Amino acid sequence: MKKLPIILLLGLAAFAVLADGDYSACFIPGEITEYKVSWMGIPLAWSKNTTDAIEENGRKLIRIRTVSKSYKAYGKIYKVDDIKEVIIDPETGLPVRIDLQMNEGSIHKSELTLFDHANQTALFHDRLANTTNSVAIASQTRDVVSFLYSMRNEKPEMLAANTHTLFAGGKLYDMGLAIRKEGRIKVPGYGKVDCILMEPIAEFDGLFLRKGKVFFWISKQNCSMITCIQAKVPVGKIKVKLQTVSGTGDDFWDKNE
């Protein structure tokens, strides 16, 4: 049964240029978000994102760790066992290092990416293929996770006004973003949350333009969250729904902590 990678869906929330500036307010040490992933209404897997501050060689950085696993009852239908860590410079919002371990059904990946923004290169190591490639990048190239959090600095209209480049899986992709409508998404413990529906316009691993569509809802709170991701693919519908938020320091999200 072929589906969109879970860890890919969880990073589909920003596909446009971000202005230069201090992004430290976008990364909140102690922030935790949890999501439920469903396929055709079946609760397939859960995912947990944690943010914490680290120090490497005297440099203060942010680590965002995403763990995704299939629910025990549905592991035989489609097994998910993913871990992704992204190290980010909070001042620039740029990624420093990405470490990905993905096991989803028949999809298996083990990848390490090291970014050198000063020289505009990214060193991509595929552990399973035992290959290493140097990829030329632009000065503001981000991955999906650093985009996801850095976009908190930007208004949706500004994000949708540009098409730019995203790094993923050792390649660069041109991405656009379309605002579709406003609405309300029901989030457990928070009721109906005001959100904006957006659609990434891009060819990402050949899936979105040729084989399906992805839509996501982003909340209007000061600490914006992706409340729901919906994917329409040939094998059905996949939904990623926000379940809990804690540690943001935002009155709206932390009131039920």
The CATH number of the domain holding residue 120 is: 2.40.360
Backbone torsions φ then ψ of 40, nearest 5 degrees: 50, 40
Q: pTM of the full predicted structure?
A: 0.84
d(CA 93, CA 149) in angstroms, rounded, equals 8
Residue pLDDT, tens place only, 55-74: 999 999 999 999 999 998 88
Is position 169 within any domain?
A: yes
Position 228 scores a pLDDT of 93
Is position 22 within any domain?
A: yes
Is position 143 within any domain?
A: yes
d(CA 256, CA 191) in angstroms, rounded, equals 11
Q: Which residues of the chain have pLDDT under 50?
A: 1-4, 6-9, 11-20, 205-210, 257
Position 105 scores a pLDDT of 86
d(CA 185, CA 10) in angstroms, rounded, equals 17
d(CA 242, CA 228) in angstroms, rounded, equals 6
Position 152 scores a pLDDT of 78
- Domain count for the chain, please give it: 1
Is position 193 within any domain?
A: yes
Look over the chain and give the mean of its residue pLDDT values, rounded to a whole number: 83
Is position 254 within any domain?
A: no
Is position 152 within any domain?
A: yes
Give exposure, 38-68, as e/b (b: 16+ Cβ within 10 Å): ebeeeebbbbebbbbeeeeeeeebbbbbbbb
Backbone torsions φ then ψ of 25, nearest 5 degrees: -70, -15
Is position 256 within any domain?
A: no
Q: How far is CA 125 from the centre of its chain?
A: 20
Is position 257 within any domain?
A: no
25: domain range?
6-249
